[in-house]
Amino acid sequence: MANAAHFETLNGFPRETITLANWRTRPYSFWAFRNVAEMVRSARIRTNSPALLPPVADNPELLARPASPGASQSVAGLLTGSQADSFLLSRDGRLICEWHADGVDRSDQHLVFSISKSITALVAGILEDQGLLDPSTPVGKLVPEAGNSAYADATVQHLLDMRVSLDFDESYLSELDYARYRRAMSWNPPSPEGGDEAMLSFLCSLKKAPGKHGGDHTYLSPNSDMLGIVLERVTGERFPDLCSRLLWQPLGATADAFITVDPEGAPRTAGGVSCRPRDLLALGQMLVNGGSANGRQVVSERWIADMQQNGDADAWMRGTQASFLKKGRYRNNWYQVGGGSNAFLAAGIHGQFLYCDPDTGTVIACTSSQHEPQTDGLDQALLAMFAHLCREP
């Protein structure tokens, strides 16, 4: 009872009130997004270099600046107003600003939602450079169970670029496609009628939409969960172990990360990774450094150049996310800002961002527990702030 009272004092509600039906909404998400393994079965992505975090980089001057030119809110004001949990900014590899919301422990792992897609794509890129993955291979050849689905003749590159012709509705609050999808990944309560599928069965049930693969950019999360299954098939290794060996350990991450899994152990590579914000920042710094960390090439310069330069701007402008970045592109599960900027980013719903500007050597990691999955106004305000902070000395 004492522990229960302590939890309620810290969080404002009893632990037993958090369920699979409400854990992604405020006020519960503020705690749940930092304790996902307590809500959904999760696998560990191990580091081999656990470490205490360096001292906090206090920077009240930066936090007091206008969030962007002409903005009435300060950086700290926008972070608080957008229900951000943690914000870190580094330049040339040096942490120069760190901010956390009241009640957040800076060592907590935080769910990064669709930044998981970008992390998975890095693992795919490493395997490609090792000759173990050919992006032009049809998914059906690697995952035979998908032979009667939309994925049968979609290539791995189509998955990476979100250019699969797929009959699926990416509406996060939908009670149809998306609710069924979330039951398959064990993020929602089981259906009262029973008979819920596991992830692979769900993915292999999805049919093709009108039109060919390789058309306009169409952001659909199941593509990235299928990518995780592809990576397991081509290596014979579970994704958490693969990610640990190829990415998390070479990166020198300070703590283990976690990824949610379905009842059969399939990884939620589209959105299930949790990690320390400090390690997320290190991931971005590795990319800005040309793919190297701790004196070791983790991701090839070739892959980074492909990611930065080869997104199809026309496919983006005609696609489903064109309003997110007005002059953007999308390649290998990473966004490119475009419009003369070389910045690129990973993003997830409920306010997760990893923003990388190689021109200024700036990396920004921002994790949040926004009540709504997506709010266009907040996204645009935060993106404007990130771009502004990259330009500021």
Residue with tokens 């089981």: 190
Both 217 and 249 in one domain: the answer is: no
- Looking at the domain assignment, is residue 333 inside a domain? yes
Both 328 and 186 in one domain: the answer is: no
- Looking at the domain assignment, is residue 50 inside a domain? yes
SS3 366: strand
CATH number of the CATH domain containing 357:
3.40.710.10
pLDDT at 294: 93
At 222-253, the pLDDT tens digits run 999 999 999 999 999 999 999 999 999 999 99
pTM above 0.95, yes or no: yes
pLDDT at 160: 98
- Looking at the domain assignment, is residue 362 inside a domain? yes
Both 254 and 363 in one domain: the answer is: yes
Both 249 and 375 in one domain: the answer is: yes
Both 346 and 374 in one domain: the answer is: yes
Instruction: Report the number of distinct structural domains present in the chain.
Output: 2
Q: Residue 2: pLDDT band by 50, 70, 90 thresholds?
A: low
Look up residue 326 and give its two tokens.
């007005």
351: left (phi over 0), alpha (psi -120 to 50) or beta: left
At 286-322, the pLDDT tens digits run 999 999 999 999 999 999 999 999 999 999 999 999 9
Look up residue 90 and give its two tokens.
């580094």
Both 288 and 336 in one domain: the answer is: yes
Both 189 and 107 in one domain: the answer is: no
- Looking at the domain assignment, is residue 271 inside a domain? yes
State the burial class of residue 50 (Cβ atoms within 10 Å of its Cβ: 0-12, 13-18, 19+): exposed
Both 182 and 208 in one domain: the answer is: yes
Residue 1, pLDDT > 80, answer no
- Looking at the domain assignment, is residue 352 inside a domain? yes
pLDDT at 193: 87
pLDDT at 392: 82
> What is the arrangement of strands in the sheet containing 257-260, beginning at the earlier edge strand?
42-45, 257-260, 273-275, 110-111
Both 110 and 243 in one domain: the answer is: yes
SS3 292: strand
Both 242 and 223 in one domain: the answer is: no
- The last residue of one of the domains, among 227, 256, 271, is 227
CB burial of 326-337 (b: ≥16 within 10 Å; e: otherwise) equals: eebbbbbbbbbb
Residue 110, pLDDT > 80, answer yes
- The last residue of one of the domains, among 227, 253, 287, is 227
Domain containing 188: what range? 129-227
Please calculate the CA angle 87-53-39 and round it to the nearest 5 degrees: 65
Q: Residue 4: pLDDT band by 50, 70, 90 thresholds?
A: confident
Both 259 and 375 in one domain: the answer is: yes
Mean pLDDT over each residue of the chain, to the nearest integer: 96
Both 242 and 338 in one domain: the answer is: yes
Average of per-residue pLDDT across 248-268: 98
φ/ψ (deg, to 5) at 382: -70, -45
At 60-80, the pLDDT tens digits run 999 999 999 989 999 999 999
At 118-170, the pLDDT tens digits run 999 999 999 999 999 999 999 999 999 999 999 999 999 999 999 999 999 99
At 9-64, the pLDDT tens digits run 989 999 999 999 999 999 999 999 999 999 999 999 999 999 999 999 999 999 99
